[in-house]
Amino acid sequence: MTSSDTGAPRRSLTAVVLAAGKGTRMRSDLPKVLHAVAGRTMLGHVLAAVQEAGATRVAVVAEPGRADVAAEIERMAPGADVFSQAERLGTAHAVLAARAALEEASDDVVVAFGDTPLVTAETFSRLRAPLAAGAAIAVLAFETDRPSGYGRVLTEGERVVAIREEKDATPEERQVRLCNAGLMALSGRHALALLSRIGNDNAAGEYYLPDAVALAAADGLPVVVVPVEEAEAQGVNDRVQLAVAEAEIQRRLRRSAQLGGATLVAPETVFLSVDTVLGRDVLIEPHVVIGPKVRIGDGCLLRAFSHLVETTLESGVDIGPHVRLRGGAVLERGVHLGNFVEVKNARLGPGAKASHLSYLGDAEVGAGANIGAGTITCNYDGVSKHRTVIGAGAFIGSDSALVAPVTVGAGAYVATGSVITDDVPEGALAIARGRQTNKPGWAKAKRAALKAAKAKKS
């Protein structure tokens, strides 16, 4: 039950997302947070999660001058505030780069990281929940038998008293198995005051966000731990960890697809995007890759080794194996595409078929049309793209080339092996190929001449 269900006022939430890290271990010219997982950038995953968790204001701390990061922020969180962090003096210093956002009244503040794409909206909601019950700080933490490298969450009885970075911890503190996951929620009443008091008297000389916990505890303010699985809280620092994050997101997406009514014959071989929409009774064979912006209607069959991106399949579509669907492909009800067919920026009407080895680009194919094997639409003249229109019920013979712009009328027939450069009227037959001529005995004489020439040369 939400606050709106009970009539209680909704608590405001400012989400501060730290996204200024250079990510040198990624060995990339692309900022770390813009590396993608399941068709969405890591930063995009985090921005989507905090907004789903109820963020009423989003503040992102980014590296100065990164137009690409700014564009992604605007795309995923329109209206978000972007703050620059020129110096990197620790996580608390980074959060305070968004001081202007913190100075405006907000019930809750959540600090997130742009390289933790596995943290769900539900976890962000759990993290902020204790603030409504009076906590000053809620810390996301996990238990592990291998705590090395993590900050330790220190307690006295039921009280959380501090978080200690490993390099500053005593030998006894390093035995603690409760580890800091990094993410934190702070009461809006106390956030700025606590953050402003954090110093840098530690081994690294940095301003640590977790030091807010000790300050709150010293002030007698309640601090609570919110548990999370270690795997969910993992950040991504290199491409090995990026692959681990991809595997986990794919596991979630496959499970959701199956529970939603889709059959994945070999789930571990199917790759989905976070925005993939699957209807009921969709059957996906092994080794199918679905990129961003794909919608698949009820009862569709995706055969093995097909690849789809920016595509819509209406109900009952049957494709593959080895079909490639690119941006702007729309397959209406009952369309069938067979092996090695590629479609780009084209709409195929109900019941249209292209069963073998064809390319349909920048085209409109009418209902019930049949596209023969080896047919291509020649849509590019070296400068501009042009459109091909194939009418309802038309039959395009195998190994035909349709040179756009061109229209084949409804019910028309294009003879096999034709190169069509002019419009074909409705119901007409178009033949555009040289007339066959047979020369009796030519082959025998030609072979004899070639052999004689070869013998003379040797």
Domains along the chain? 3-233 (3.90.550.10), 239-430 (2.160.10.10)
Report the C-alpha gap between 377 and 208 in whole angstroms: 61
Mean pLDDT of 36-55: 97
Q: Is the dihedral of CA 229, 232, 235, 238 positive or negative?
A: positive
Amino acid at 360: L
Report the C-alpha gap between 103 and 369 in whole angstroms: 64
As a whole number, the mean pLDDT across the chain is 95
Mean pLDDT of 366-371: 98
Q: How does pLDDT run across 163-181, given as a tens digit for each residue? A: 999 989 999 999 999 999 9
Q: Which two tokens stand for residue 371?
A: 């596209």
For the chain, the maximum distance between any two Cα atoms, rounded to a whole number of angstroms, is 106
Amino acid at 43: L
Mean pLDDT of 210-230: 95
Report the C-alpha gap between 175 and 170 in whole angstroms: 9
Say if residues 228 and 235 touch (Cβ distance below 8 Å).
Answer: no
Burial class (CB in 10 A: 0-12, 13-18, 19+), 152: buried
Is 119 strand, coil or helix? coil
> Would residue 345 be called left, alpha or beta, if left means φ above 0 and alpha means ψ between -120 and 50 degrees?
left
pTM for this structure?
0.90
Report the C-alpha gap between 175 and 451 in whole angstroms: 87
Q: Which of 332, 364, 337, 336 is nearest to 350 (CA)?
A: 332
Q: Which two tokens stand for residue 294?
A: 């794909």
Report the C-alpha gap between 376 and 354 in whole angstroms: 11
Phi/psi for 211 (5° steps) reads: -65, -15
Residues paired with residue 420 on neighbouring β-strands, in sequence order: 402
Say if residues 393 and 411 touch (Cβ distance below 8 Å).
Answer: yes
Say if residues 140 and 118 touch (Cβ distance below 8 Å).
Answer: no
Q: Which of 63, 66, 108 is nearest to 84 (CA)?
A: 63
Say if residues 305 and 322 touch (Cβ distance below 8 Å).
Answer: yes
Q: How does pLDDT run across 76-92, given as a tens digit for each residue? A: 999 999 999 888 899 99
Can you give the pLDDT at residue 143?
94
Residue 3: pLDDT band with limits 50, 70, 90: very low
Can you give the pLDDT at residue 374?
97
Is 394 strand, coil or helix? coil
Mean pLDDT of 144-164: 90
Q: 356 an active-site residue?
A: yes
Q: How does pLDDT run across 429-456, given as a tens digit for each residue? A: 999 998 889 999 999 999 999 999 999 9
Can you give the pLDDT at residue 9?
65
Report the C-alpha gap between 134 and 217 in whole angstroms: 14
Q: How does pLDDT run across 100-136, given as a tens digit for each residue? A: 999 998 999 999 999 999 999 999 999 999 999 999 9
| Percentage of the residues of the chain whose pLDDT score is greater than 70 | 98
Residue 8: pLDDT band with limits 50, 70, 90: low
Can you give the pLDDT at residue 248?
97
- The DSSP letter of residue 26 is G
Residue 2: pLDDT band with limits 50, 70, 90: very low
Query: How distant, in Å, are the alpha carbons of 44, 51, 124, 140, 392 from that of 56?
Result: 17, 7, 13, 21, 51
Q: Is the dihedral of CA 230, 183, 213, 208 positive or negative?
A: positive
Q: Which two tokens stand for residue 193?
A: 């005051």
Q: Which residues of 266-275 are buried (b: 16+ CB within 10 A; e: fewer)?
A: ebebbbbbbe
Is 60 strand, coil or helix? strand
Can you give the pLDDT at residue 4?
43
Can you give the pLDDT at residue 99?
96
Can you give the pLDDT at residue 6?
44
Report the C-alpha gap between 103 and 270 in whole angstroms: 47
| Percentage of the residues of the chain whose pLDDT score is greater than 90 | 90
Report the C-alpha gap between 268 and 250 in whole angstroms: 8
Report the C-alpha gap between 305 and 287 in whole angstroms: 5
Which helix (H) or strand (E) is 131 found in, with range?
helix 121-132
Catalytic residue among 45, 287, 307, 356: 356
Q: Helices 67-76 and 42-52 sit at what angle, rounded to 10 degrees?
A: 30
Q: Which two tokens stand for residue 8?
A: 């209680």
Q: Which of 82, 90, 94 is nearest to 18 (CA)?
A: 94
Q: Which two tokens stand for residue 19?
A: 């996204």
Q: Which residues of 17-51 are buried (b: 16+ CB within 10 A; e: fewer)?
A: bbbbbebeebeeeebbbbbbbbbbbbbbbbbbbbb
